[in-house]
Structure 1
Amino acid sequence: MAFRKPYMIFLYVIINFCTIGCTEPFDIGTETFEDILVIEAVLTDELKQHEIQLSRTFRLEEESFFGESNADVRVIDNLQNEYVFEEADMGKYVSVSPFMIQSDRNYQLTIRTENGETYVSESVTLPQKTQIDDLYAEKTVNESGDEGIAVFVDSFDATGNAIFYRYEYEETYQIIAPFWSEFEVEILSRNPPSFSVVPRTTEERICYKTDLSNTINITNTVNLSENRITKFPVLFIDKNNTVLRNRYSILVRQFIQSRKAQTFYETLKEFSDPESLFSQVQPGFINGNISSISNDQEKVLGFFDVSSVSSRRIFFEFKDFFPNETRPPFFIDCEVLDFSPSTPQGASNLLNFISIGYDNLSGYDSFTDTYFMTLTGCGDCNEFGSNVTPDFWEN
């Protein structure tokens, strides 16, 4: 489970509105504040080291969240097996040993914070597992009239037991620096300015970036004649989005969850609608399935859930859907400036522009001793991603 700061900000906004309830114009800020424990805990039937996030609500004007450190975190099943979690980073707890949630057991989360407060969840069980039957992309137009690519998922449960679905995704896209060259500028001296053209020593042309979903994608088959998910829209990507400039991949994870978990996420999704947040009638606090043993009046935000999960990945490129159109633009405008350091003024100009970010050599004319320079990111993809190729990548 990956931690997502936007999710935390959203949860705090809900708390703030539920607490103060406003009906008049206001400036976004914190008038009243409640220090509330926030818990993110979704365990699955995957054999791995699971993660649980603990944090505290924070004021809207603050830049970062506050992880809850030094807590004792355990998951206990009905056979009295204990799965201990240790803090790996501030507020991030990872199970000491890999394990998987099993269908024939009940699980309960227990947390004891550094100040001695104890929290427990309701007992939960693993829902029916259902595979993703198909994951595919299509050229489409969204409700706003924007043209782009939509990613859809199909799934079917013949047993009739998988009813509530939630989806997360990871986008991974290739970044190719448009003005990369196999050489770079080496500053030999700053006074007087002197330069040399040398081979690059690191991979700076092709990189990769992974972005995690931060929206709530849920659906259900309650009112359907069979438990079949058909063409459920997971994501829409505008055709001008830079992530589509080169090769693109998306991994979609399908979680089968309980009715209570579905209700919790439905409420979060409903509150995420600006019309709901800023309506005159503010909703009450979102109740999860975790409570304080020490103080039954204390608010706790979060939900402990065990879900069966399946995943699927696809790859595609912009030209697969828009073969006769220009690719989306790069992340930044790449202006190429030329400098001739053969004169003192030219050398000084080159040094000055290198110092303000025009340090990428896109070309060099040895006959005229002319350096063609662009911004760093135009020739070094590491400005926007990582030059390490993911293990799953397919060209």
Structure 2
Amino acid sequence: MYIKTANGDEYKSTPTNLNTGNGITNLFGKIATNSNQEEGVSFVVNVQETSGAAKYYRYEYEETHKIIAPWYRNRKAVIVSEDPPKIEIEYKPDEIGKVCYSTNKSSSLILGSTEGLNNGQLVDFSLRFLERDDYKISNRYSILAKQYVISREAHTFYKTLNDFSSSDNLFSQIQPGFLKGNIENINDESEKVIGFFEVSSVSAKRIFLNITIFLPTRFQEQNILLAVLLLLRKK
């Protein structure tokens, strides 16, 4: 990589090769428990790397979930006149405003590695965990996973960066210094340049989840609770 800025500064990265490997073999959700022994759904990937060339991975995901308004009403008040005050009730089709969708992207570094594994396969690597009571999986949920095959240097950089930005508690924080990447100023080696340049192959898979398949008991409990709340509101 070579960049020349508007003010004449020149930057370059170390020579970087394209890292290739097999894509995501499988993406699926399964019932699991997290470190707090809470039940939910874990979304995992499997990668079968036959060539042995790819050993380091970085992942991103994009999740979309369906939202159904629990107390939906198909009517609204419309101000017809302010002087004198006059309001009329208008009706709208049942589906307008009742159902919508929300999409979010991952914001943390998700790193995987097969270093030291004899078969070179990534098995049931967890990308996302949602507790059984999470509203995102109450109706309909979809997750798009992206896999980047990265170099060992890139994996080391991201892992160090991840260690700097996360801490178990206030009294065991790591005091980060400058994290050197693979970019430098050609004319001024003393300048501290932030960032890491990488090229990698990308693969992606998407799945859709119906909560009744994974946690039918929870789904039934939710419907019963909703029915009770509706009855209470009517009284």
TM over 0.5: yes
The alignment status of 1:152 with 2:47, answered yes or no, reads no
Question: For 2:165 and 2:64, how far apart are their aligned partners in 1?
Answer: 26
1:218–1:115 CA distance, 2 compared to 1 (3 A): same
Using the TM superposition, give the Cα deviation of residue 277 of structure 1 relative to its aligned residue in structure 2, in angstroms: 8.2
The structure 1 residue matched to 2:127, chosen from 234, 249, 260, is 234
For 1:125, what is the secondary structure of its paired residue?
coil
Contact 1:164 / 1:219 at 8 angstroms: preserved in 2?
yes
Identity in percent: 38
Which ranges of structure 1 fall in alignment gaps of 5 or more residues?
Answer: 1-107, 329-333, 339-395
Query: Which of residues 153, 157, 163 in structure 2 aligns to 1:270?
Result: 163
5 Å-filtered alignment, 1:296-335, equals 296-325=189-218, 326-327=221-222
1:196 equivalenced with 2:88 (yes/no): yes
Given candidates 171, 174, 195, the residue that maps to 2:66 is 174
* Residue number in structure 2 paired with 1:260: 153
Q: Distance in 2 between matches of 1:137 and 1:272?
A: 28
TM-score if structure 2 supplies the norm length? 0.85
Q: Distance in 2 between matches of 1:147 and 1:265?
A: 30
1:281-360 map, 5 Å: 282-325=175-218, 326-327=221-222
CA contact (8 A) 2:12 2:185 kept: yes
Distance 1:327 1:289, change over 3 A: farther
Match of 1:219 among 98, 112, 121: 112
In the alignment, the residues of structure 2 paired with residue 257 and residue 277 of structure 1 have an alpha-carbon distance, to the nearest angstrom, of: 32
Is residue 271–residue 277 contact of structure 1 (8 Å, CA) maintained in 2?
no
- Counterparts in 2 of 1:297 and 1:327: CA distance versus 1, 3 Å: farther
Q: CA deviation at 1:299?
A: 1.2
Instruction: Show CA shifts across 1:233-283 (max 9, x none).
Output: 111112222212220000011111111111111111211221498647634
1:130 pairs with 2:22: yes
2:185 corresponds to which letter in structure 1? S
The aligned counterpart of 1:113 is 5
For 2:103 and 2:188, the matched residues in 1 are separated by 41
Count of aligned pairs: 223
CA apart distance, 1:321 = 1.9
Mark the CA change 1:273 to 1:226 in structure 2 (over 3 Å): closer, same or farther: same
- Structure 1 pair 183–275 and aligned structure 2 pair: CA distance change class (3 A): closer
SS at 1:136 equivalent: strand
Greater relative contact order, per chain length (Cα 8 Å cut-off, separation 6+) = 2
Q: Given that residues 130 and 308 in structure 1 are in contact (C-alpha distance below 8 angstroms), is that contact kept between their aligned partners in structure 2?
A: no
| Residues 4-61 of structure 1: CA deviation (Å, up to 9, x unaligned) | xxxxxxxxxxxxxxxxxxxxxxxxxxxxxxxxxxxxxxxxxxxxxxxxxxxxxxxxxx
- The 3 A distance-change label for structure 1 pair 175 and 304 is same
Aligned partner of residue 124 in structure 1, secondary structure: coil
Where do 5+ consecutive residues of structure 2 fail to align? 224-228
TM-score, normalization by structure 1: 0.52
How far apart are the structure 2 equivalents of 1:269 and 1:256?
18
Matched, 1:141 2:33: yes
Do the aligned partners of residues 173 and 267 (structure 1) sit closer, same or farther apart at CA in structure 2, a change above 3 Å counting?
same
Rounded to whole Å, the distance in 2 between the matches of 1:205 and 1:319 is 21
Shift of 1:217: 1.1
